[in-house]
């Protein structure tokens, strides 16, 4: 999910150690209703799509796949870990 704050677009990316980082994105126009990301993400990276208001960089999360109805291209979601502080 792409968010925007003061005109800067960003997404929360799940790193290999299951912590998250806020990544600034460069986007282009939409194609078939989806925003094209020109830079800031790599193919295959996990992007958090829910509970964005709870997230902070460095927070530990537990990746959770989205429902199958979201389609085969669906990216995993993530939820804050119970032991996050």
Q: Which CATH number fits the domain that encloses residue 23? A: 2.40.420.20
Does residue 10 fall inside a structural domain?
yes
- In this prediction the pTM is 0.65
Does residue 14 fall inside a structural domain?
yes
- Total domain count, the chain: 1
Buried b (16+ CB within 10 A) or exposed e, 28-49: eeeeeeeeebeebbeeeebbbb
Does residue 38 fall inside a structural domain?
yes
Contact 38, 27 (CB under 8 A): yes
**53 Cβ partners below 8 Å, 6+ apart?**
none
Does residue 57 fall inside a structural domain?
yes
User: DSSP character for 76?
Assistant: P
Does residue 85 fall inside a structural domain?
no
Which residue, among 15, 41, 14, has the nearest Cα to 26 in the 3D structure?
41
Domain that holds residue 45: 3-80
pLDDT in tens, the chain (85 residues): 677 666 778 888 999 999 999 998 988 888 898 878 888 989 889 888 777 778 888 899 888 887 754 444 545 555 566 554 4
């Amino acid at each position: 999910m792409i968010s925007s704050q003061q005109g800067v677009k960003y997404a929360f990316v799940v790193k290999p150690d299951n912590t998250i980082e806020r990544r600034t994105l460069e986007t282009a126009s939409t194609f078939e209703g989806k925003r094209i990301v020109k830079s800031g993400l790599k193919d295959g990276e996990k992007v958090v799509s829910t509970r964005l208001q709870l997230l902070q960089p460095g927070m530990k999360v537990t990746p959770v796949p989205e429902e199958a109805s979201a389609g085969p291209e669906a990216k995993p979601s993530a939820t804050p870990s119970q032991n996050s502080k």
